[in-house]
Amino acid sequence: MTVINQRRALTFIFVTVLIDAIGFGVVIPVFPALIVKLTGSDLAGAARVSGWIAFLYAGVQFLMGPVIGGLSDLFGRRPVLLASLLAFGVDYLVMAFAPTLWWLVVARVVAGITGATFPTAYAYIADISAPEQRAGNFGVIGMAFGFGFIIGPALGGIVSGWGNAVPFLLAAALAFANALYGLIVLPESLAPASRRAFDWRRANPAGALMRLKSAHPCVLMLAATVFVWTLSYQSLYSVWSFFGQERFGWNAGEVGWSLAAVGVTGAIVQGFLGRRLIPRYGQTNVILAGVASAVVGYSIYGFATAGWMIYAGIAVSALQGLVFPSLQGLMSAEVGAGEQGELQGAVASIQSLSAIVGPPLMTGTFAWFSGPSAAIWFPGAPFLLSVVFVLAALAIFLRAMGLRRAAAPA
């Protein structure tokens, strides 16, 4: 693939993930009202229902990630990406007009089954990038998600004034437009000679990882690093808004600005700095720097006594955004072209598993150390738990690197 085609393809992947993230974020402001409408419950009841829907979505993605990855290894990345975008468009349409809660549940299950955008996008980038470029190019996905998560909620809040269905219709329109754009401009990245037959024994999280372990000894340890690392930042997703309100008395606007700062720094680091730092210093050194950045940042969050300290922590912890794309780059370099989809599907399942395990763990820790009945009032406790996970991920990563060196030819 020529440089010009590679740039065009990377642009499409960026736009795909950006639109996906915008579509995800644009419905956030009205999702509670939709569930209240469909269930007739109060806001607290709607929150519980929303949590179970999120749990179901993550569970389905956990099971289906390797299946979708295997299909992309068989049929190619292009048809799987386009089918995923079309499915997301239908999902948002169903949510816009869902007459009952069960329609909403079914739509989320279908979206979980076909939610192949991220792992297939990673596999596409692996196909078109030289091994030394992959980690930096993987950062394009993080940058797109960061920008999308900034734009989406703000846009959703604006258009929701025209009705609760409008954000869902907008998200559907974006998904369909992106599918049409891809149909016109996106070339296939996986050559027919590099494709492999679909195998149900490998199309599950355990089977995919065991297969990768047998062929590539350090990949399983790197996958374990990804799981523990992903657990570490579940505190940001799960308790950030609760922590801000409990510790500093923040309102929704102040919470939103802080999340926007996280998104902006993540987008800058992954999209721009990563493509310069990773080739210059190497993936291993960047991961070590990112781990140190995370330890200091989470510690600042945990012990912060004033709101401005949170922004200092956001700045200090910014380099942690390079850890995941660097881990992706290391794993991708260990497998062949016909296994990239399988690898990315397995990684998607690992991330989904952390999204199942992490939130109740972090919110439970927050609840234990917060409120008037807490034996020890320390609402920053989940962030110190994140430090523990970061250090555990570092230990596993160092073990993986030891296996990699041992497996290297003398």
The CATH code of the domain that includes 224 is: 1.20.1250.20
The pLDDT-based confidence of 381 (bands split at 50, 70, 90) is very high
Q: How many CA atoms lie within 13 A of 409 on its CB side?
A: 0
Inside any domain, residue 370: yes
Whether residue 212 sits in one domain with residue 102? no
Mark whether 256 and 157 lie in a shared domain: no
Q: How many residues in total does the chain contain?
A: 410
**Predicted confidence band of residue 289 (pLDDT cuts 50, 70, 90):** very high
Instruction: Kindly tell me if the per-residue pLDDT of 215 is higher than 60.
Output: no
pLDDT at 44 over 60: no
| CA dihedral sign, ordered 9, 15, 16, 18 | positive
- Residues 341 and 266 placed together within one structural domain of the fold: yes
**pLDDT of 391:** 97
pLDDT band (50, 70, 90) for residue 276: confident
Range of the domain at 153: 1-182
383 within domain boundaries: yes
For tokens 């372990």, what's the residue? Answer: 213
Q: What is the pLDDT of residue 144?
A: 79
Q: Are residues 111 and 4 in the same domain?
A: yes
Same domain, 145 and 208: no
pLDDT for residue 47 is more than 60: no
Q: What is the pLDDT of residues 120-162, one digit of tens each?
A: 777 788 777 777 677 777 777 777 777 776 777 677 767 777 8
Query: Mean pLDDT, to the nearest integer, of 367-376?
Result: 79
Please state the domain count of the chain: 2
110 plus 17 within the same structural domain: yes
In percent, the amount of the chain with pLDDT more than 90 equals 15
Residue 46 has pLDDT above 70, yes or no: no
Minimum mean pLDDT range among 91-105, 248-262, 322-336: 248-262
Same domain, yes or no, for 99 and 223? no
Residues 143 and 243 in one domain: no
- pLDDT at position 98 is 81
Q: What is the DSSP letter of 269?
A: I
Rounded CA separation 387/368 (Å): 18
Instruction: Specify which of 24-38, 67-81, 82-96, 248-262 reaches the highest per-range mean pLDDT.
Output: 82-96
Considering the domain boundaries, does residue 272 fall inside one? yes
For residue 187, is it within any domain? no
Strand, helix or coil for residue 87 = helix
125 and 138 in contact (C-beta within 8 Å)? yes
Q: Do 94 and 177 belong together in one domain?
A: yes
- Based on the domain organization, do 328 and 371 belong to the same domain? yes
Q: Which tokens sit at 395? A: 């230990």
pLDDT band at 314 (very low <50, low <70, confident <90, very high): very high
